[in-house]
Structure 1
Amino acid sequence: MEYKIRKASLEDLNETAELFNQYRIFYRQESDIEKGKSFIKERLLNGESDIFLVLVNNKAVGFVQLYKLFHYTKLQKQWLLSDLFVLPEYRGNGLSLALIERSKRWCEETGACGLMLETEKTNDIGNKLYPRCGFEYDGAHNYYHWWK
């Protein structure tokens, strides 16, 4: 399958927001395109994340969103691969792999030491995909959340 990957901009807001909405639905959230569009717009305007779109026949069919973090032992910038999504009808064509590879190149381009990510234990697709892409499972840490 032929595809193209490019960095998203505000011009891509509607397409990106639609994909982001589908991603949130995948994680059992209610559909809310307008709220998602506002969220993505704010991230882009404030330079808080970098988003790459994968396009097939000039249609955005998937995305990856990266947030800048800093690694305490390496004393370098790193990227959190926060969101990765490909529309179901385009899965199985290597598009997720291509988005991950683009994210790795982004690390090189920005002088970052690497990528980190987390996914649900029930995400069978992701839990098989990430080790194939060179990610190592970190069973030594517990991740906690606090929500107000």
Structure 2
Amino acid sequence: MKVRKANFTDFDQLAELFDAYRVFYKQDSDIEGAKQFLQERTERGESVIYVAEEEGHLIGFVQLYPLFSSTRMKRLWLLNDLFVATSHRGKGASKLLMGEAKNLAKVTEAAGVILETEKTNTVGNQLYPAVDFKLDTEHNFYYWDVE
């Protein structure tokens, strides 16, 4: 298994993984929409995607978006998406992908990587502390939807 930065030849396989990720989060399946979304983010330089690959097949990915911290006066990376195909879980792909996310923060001299996950995401809530992410219990998370 190897982890590398995604390239334009990956979008068909990556779209299938991204679609499965979205379905996991209770969204309707839309593989063509997923492919278009990923291509647009990449073409516009709006995200960085790393893929886990085994025997020529993509088995997982992590997608990060650039943000900035005004108080730290540095870039931050938002780890927005992490997914490994069900058939390949438990083999270390998530930890390798998280390692690439952390390395991206280091090489871009960012302040760090932030993420959120549902409280019910048992696997993620075990993974993140295992790869040295700390749970923020001091801040409230708020959001506002346009709809």
- TM-score, normalized by the shorter chain, greater than 0.5: yes
Matches within 5 A, 1:1-148: 3-148=1-146
Write the deviation string for residues 50-102 of structure 1: whole angstroms up to 9, x where unpaired: 00000011110000000001112211001001000000110001110010011
**Counterpart code for 2:3:** I
Amino acid at match of 1:16: L
Q: TM-score, normalised by structure 2?
A: 0.96
Find the aligned partners of 2:8 and 2:139 in 1 and give their Cα distance: 37
| Runs of 4+ more than 2 Å apart | none
Runs of 5+ in structure 1 lacking a partner? Answer: none
2-structure distance, mates of 1:125, 1:147 = 27
Deviations 1:28-52 (A, max 9, x none): 1110111111111110110000000
Q: Which amino acid aligns with 1:98?
A: L
What letter matches 1:143 in structure 2?
Answer: F
Q: TM-score, normalised by structure 1?
A: 0.95
Per-residue deviation, 1:120: 0.5
- Measured on the aligned residues, the alpha-carbon RMSD in Å equals 0.9
SS at match of 2:99: helix
For the residue of structure 2 that corresponds to 1:130, the secondary structure is: helix
The residue identity in structure 2 corresponding to 1:61 is: I
Distance 2:145 2:7 in 1: 30
AA in 1 matched with 2:42:
L
Q: Percentage identity across aligned positions?
A: 47
CA deviation profile, 1:78-135 (whole Å, cap 9, x unmatched): 1001000000110001110010011111111211121000000110100111011111
> What is the total number of aligned residue pairs between the two structures?
146
Unaligned runs of 5+ in 2: none
